[in-house]
């Protein structure tokens, strides 16, 4: 072990025989009338082992180790030997060097900051729909996600260019999948981008695409609601986390479904139907339709959602999510202020994700889902 003090996380001030470490969230004060502690901290340069640290600090190994443990508990120590055991290449170390500063905020003596980047490189994400999500593709590529599968069937149109920034005027009329593939390679040639130029029309067609995927990001919005149920069903069958976002006239919707152990999208619909029985009329009206000309997508909102989605994907991949329960969050379109956050628990009677020994090829019909909600509302 060769401990290194995280100087990049603190501002150090020496005043009145005390040492003050200022972090983003707190101030840690240490009495140090003889400068012993500061000398100890200076010895934590990533080059000295415990024996050398104790010798340079004029203290026993036990005393040095105890101080190292205390600094580790408050997140100010990491182990420089982790670099030697890392599988990252010289290019990776240079390309993602700002990532390592970021990961230092959660690394410690036992957890290498480099291990987080290694995990991203080993991960696979499927992105369904490459319209507004083309923005988040650049985030995923920049993060170094090892394999990205992009699915779409549309061609680039002039009306896409106000918010879909992987495309340019020279790409008009070309398939979005092929343009995304070229753009991603320009950002990060180490990313394995798999483009699938196809139209999602059911759950069955997604099964082979999700065979080795860690996370699914869904931005398909046509046909309304039904397309999301297809994706949700395929994710539930395989227990894959599903993330999605969308825009409304006055709100942005962000949803995360941990389909393996928490509520799925159908659980979410069941909850809405039970809380608001009249919602079934609106649901039936919108269900399965192509709501052309009603997309209020605005560039800052799309970029904001892309950040939320990719940040959550990172948290899932790196096991840093604060809450591993399915939830919905709503934000106001003009202020980006969060207005609603609600968790969705797994419904024991959900026909999609609960108590299923076998799965049908497709989700149950909307009418059947409404009947299930009404039956359980009575109970």
* Amino acid 209: pLDDT: 87
Taking each helix axis from N to C end, the angle separating 299-318 and 113-121, rounded to the nearest 10 degrees, works out to: 110
Per DSSP, 190 falls in state T
- CA–CA gap between residue 327 and residue 337 (Å, rounded): 17
DSSP 3-state of 182: helix
- Helix spans in the chain (H): 36-43, 50-57, 61-73, 82-85, 90-95, 97-103, 113-121, 134-143, 176-187, 226-238, 265-275, 279-286, 299-318, 366-378
DSSP percent split of the chain into helix, strand, coil, nearest 5: 40, 20, 40
Stronger pLDDT, 355 or 109, i.e. the higher one: 109
Residues 6+ apart with CB under 8 A from 175: 152, 153, 154, 155, 156, 197
What's the CATH architecture for 3-96? Answer: Alpha-Beta Complex (3.90)
Sheet holding 11-15, edge to edge: 11-15, 18-22, 27-31
Query: For 249-300, what is each residue's pLDDT tens digit?
Result: 899 999 999 999 999 999 999 999 999 999 999 999 999 988 766 788 899 9
- CA–CA gap between residue 338 and residue 328 (Å, rounded): 11
Query: For 217-255, what is each residue's pLDDT tens digit?
Result: 999 988 999 999 999 999 999 999 999 999 988 999 999
Residue 124 backbone dihedrals phi, psi, to 5 degrees? -135, 130
Residue 104 has pLDDT above 90, yes or no: yes
> How far apart, in Å, are the Cα atoms of 348 and each of 6, 239, 279?
47, 16, 21
- Are 108 and 76 in contact by the 8 Å Cβ rule? The answer is no
Residue 379 has pLDDT above 90, yes or no: no
* Strands 3-5 vs 77-79: parallel, antiparallel or unpaired: antiparallel
> Poorest-confidence range of 71-75, 357-361, 371-375?
357-361
Query: For 120-179, what is each residue's pLDDT tens digit?
Result: 999 999 999 998 888 899 999 999 999 999 999 999 999 999 999 999 999 999 999 999
Domain locations in the chain? 3-96, 119-378
CATH level 3 topology of 119-378? Rossmann fold (3.40.50)
- CA–CA gap between residue 239 and residue 262 (Å, rounded): 10
Query: For 322-369, what is each residue's pLDDT tens digit?
Result: 788 999 999 999 999 999 899 989 999 999 998 665 567 899 999 999
* Amino acid 359: pLDDT: 60
């Amino acid at each position: 072990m060769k401990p290194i003090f995280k100087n990049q996380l603190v501002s150090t001030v020496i005043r009145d025989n005390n040492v003050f470490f200022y972090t983003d969230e707190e101030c840690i004060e240490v009495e140090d009338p003889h400068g012993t502690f500061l000398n100890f901290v200076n010895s934590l340069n990533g080059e000295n082992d415990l024996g050398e640290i104790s010798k340079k600090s004029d203290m026993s190994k036990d005393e040095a180790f105890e101080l190292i443990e205390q600094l580790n508990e408050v997140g100010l120590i990491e182990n420089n030997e982790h670099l030697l055991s890392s599988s990252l290449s010289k290019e990776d170390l240079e390309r993602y060097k700002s990532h390592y500063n970021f990961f230092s905020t959660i690394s410690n003596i036992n957890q290498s900051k480099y291990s987080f980047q290694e995990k991203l490189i080993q991960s696979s994400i499927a992105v369904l729909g490459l319209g507004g999500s083309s923005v988040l593709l650049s985030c995923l590529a920049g993060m170094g996600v090892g394999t990205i599968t992009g699915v779409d069937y549309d061609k680039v149109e002039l009306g896409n260019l106000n918010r879909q920034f992987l495309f340019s005027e020279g790409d008009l009329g070309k398939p979005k999948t092929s343009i995304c593939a070229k753009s991603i390679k320009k950002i990060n040639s180490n990313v394995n981008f798999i483009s699938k130029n196809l139209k999602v029309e059911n759950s069955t067609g997604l099964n082979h695409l999700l065979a080795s995927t860690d996370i699914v990001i869904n931005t398909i919005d046509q046909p309304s609601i039904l397309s999301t149920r297809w994706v949700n069903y395929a994710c539930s069958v395989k227990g894959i986390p599903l993330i999605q976002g969308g825009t409304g006239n006055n709100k942005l919707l962000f949803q995360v479904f941990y389909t393996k152990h928490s509520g799925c999208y159908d659980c979410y619909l069941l909850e809405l139907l039970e809380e608001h029985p009249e919602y079934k009329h609106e649901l039936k009206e919108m269900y399965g339709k192509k709501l052309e000309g009603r997309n209020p997508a605005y560039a800052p909102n799309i970029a904001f959602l892309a950040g939320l989605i990719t940040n959550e994907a990172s948290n899932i991949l790196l096991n840093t999510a604060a809450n591993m329960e399915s939830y919905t969050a709503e934000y106001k379109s003009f202020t980006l202020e969060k207005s609603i956050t609600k968790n969705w628990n797994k419904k024991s009677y959900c026909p999609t994700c609960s108590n299923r020994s076998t799965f049908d090829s497709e989700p149950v019909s909307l009418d059947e889902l409404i009947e299930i909600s009404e039956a359980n509302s009575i109970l």
